[in-house]
Amino acid sequence: MAAKEDIYSKISPRRLRQSGCVSGKHDVMLSMGFPLQRALKALASTGGRSVPLACDWLFSHLDDPFLDDPLPREYVLYLRPSGPLQNQLSHFWQQSRLTCGKNKAHNIFPHITLCQFFMCPDNKLVALCEALQSSVAQWRGRFPRPLPLELYTSSTFIGLFVEDQAAELLKQFAADFALEASAKADVYVEAHKKQLHVTLAYQFPTHHYFSLEKLARGIEVKLGCDWLAVLFSRDIRFANHETLRVMYPYTPQNNDELELVQGDFIFYSTLEQTGTSDGWVYGTSLGSGISGLLPENYVNPSDESDTWVFHGLGESAIMSMICQPMQMFRSNIQSRSSKRRLFVCRHGERMDVVFGKHWLSHCSDSKGRYVRRNLNMPAALPGWTGAHSDYQSDSPITVVGSTQAKIVGEALLESNTSIDFVYCSPSLRCVQTAHEIIRGMQQDDRVSIRVEPGLFEWTKWVSGKSLPAWIPPSDLAAAKLNIDTTYRPRIPISKLTMSEAYETYISRSHQVTKDILAYCKNKGKNILFVGHASSLEACSRQILGLSPHNSTDFVQVVRKARGIHTSTLHL
């Protein structure tokens, strides 16, 4: 059966990688017209993952009364496990919750606390991430393998404690980070001084002790594990609030009520409930920053860490590689790389999302010619024989989108990954993304793009009464895009229909994926699809042997894909 892994392509190539946080992205946002303080706050509040995500955050917080408040976020440094041990800990989390209900440990994922919560201004976040990166680089490889853990149980607490000698090394690492953070970011960080441990359960009913203890003893603490030093942050205003998840949408009926969006989180405090009517609570939306009354039966309790923001450093955060002997590890990599892979990629940032649906009229002069109005806009649009107005329904990508795509290509190049075939949706944003990925891989002269209408998104989501007027492959090639003009599509444009049923779209995506994989089976090893957010699921789920989602779950999954994003299927 195929296996799947996700690659978040916002990770910079190694030679460009600095802090993994917001470095450089705020310059892009400034060029787009956002004030510096707002740009920094948006990037800090979204983990610096991408400019589009930060822009979305700003647009949704325009009515947030604290949008321009300089109050810093709170940060915490954890060691977080990955690999086989993490799988066992996740299993314990699920089974303990299912068997005994939620206890306080479930509020936060498995971790070892290295530093207490501390505050850092938004304009110091890059320096803070650099301090962590510097500390990790100095300490990597200096920890015992595996990290020695010992199970401790009592009637009120169950956890895995780090053996004393190893714990002292971890505390020294935390102390070094505190010094680096003070020197680079001018923030005060207090290293954790108590016994280091992974909390498994606490504040649970006494009668659940034996069930929890039995589950805990099933954890194999000597399993291989990579420990990652990770920064998380939270909004300091809601540090002592409870967290609720919105289960159903709600439209306000009165001015003091809060609009609810399914999947959003609400911060709730018992101190703010004075005067509320039965069945109603007062809270603040994570998604908009707005406060108001909401129906109590529209929300459910959630975990505290669900609203935390991860500030990732990628591979550079790995403290130690606790796994197989290196010789065996390398042989496994070689055997795995010999298999075929399918990369499914979502297109880069698009013009109409950043500059609005009327971007084209804003960028046209009195004679209807394209004029660049912003540095994030392309210098020119691909010329073709169609109408200038057709760009309105077939938007190109921005300069940021082009850069995102090229970085994906550079990341593949650095990992020694070659691509033998490239297929993409006929949407201009997908063609341009594929073109920039190939450029980033430096394979312009070896691989050309096959435009496949069968990879277009679910047509039910197309606005208007007809499909977009896509640029023909011959015109794309004339515009210097690397197009295979001899390719005959598996599913021609004439076979696509407006407002197709969900089942039709899923069947179409699965069929075209199967047909392409069968065609390429003996002709090449790695294949790249460039499509839409929906392609990440529709082109991969059934290939993995899984049943399709129902349409409601499918929409929820697709909405989580923001910015350029790549999934890898090992076939």
State the catalytic residues.
346-347, 532
What DSSP designation does 485 have? Answer: T
Assigned token pair, 135: 């500390």
> Please, are residues 530 and 422 in contact by the beta-carbon 8 Å criterion?
yes
Q: Are 486 and 526 in contact (CB under 8 A)?
A: no
Please, which residues bridge with residue 118 across strands?
75
Residue appearing with tokens 């109050």: 71
| Burial of 301: CB neighbours in 10 Å, binned 0-12, 13-18, 19+ | exposed
The Cα angle at residue 352 between residues 561 and 434, in degrees rounded to 5 = 60
Do residues 235 and 198 lie in contact, with contact meaning Cβ atoms separated by under 8 Å? Answer: no
Distance, CA of 20 to CA of 540 (rounded, Å): 29
Region for residue 126 given its phi and psi (left: phi exceeds 0; alpha: psi -120 to 50; beta: otherwise)? alpha
CA dist., res. 53 & res. 564, Å (int): 11
Token pair 């200038």 is at which residue?
388
Residues 180 and 115 sit within 8 Å (Cβ to Cβ): no
Evaluated on CA atoms 183, 185, 191, 196, the torsion sign reads: negative
The torsion region of residue 449 among left (phi > 0), alpha (psi -120 to 50) and beta comes to: beta
Indicate the SS3 state at residue 135. helix
Tell me which residue of 422, 418, 417, 445 sits closest to 433, measured CA to CA.
422
By the 8 A CB rule, do 43 and 552 touch?
Answer: no
Dist CA 242 CA 102 (whole Å): 14
* 146 preceded by a cis bond (ω within 30 of 0): yes
CA distances from 142 to 230, 451, 467 (A): 18, 50, 58
Helical axes 125-139 vs 36-45, angle rounded to 10°: 40
CA dist., res. 405 & res. 435, Å (int): 8
Alpha helices in 285-325 (DSSP H): none
Distance CA 164, CA 226 (A): 19
Q: 199: which residues sit within 8 A by CB, 6+ positions away?
A: 105, 108, 157, 158, 159
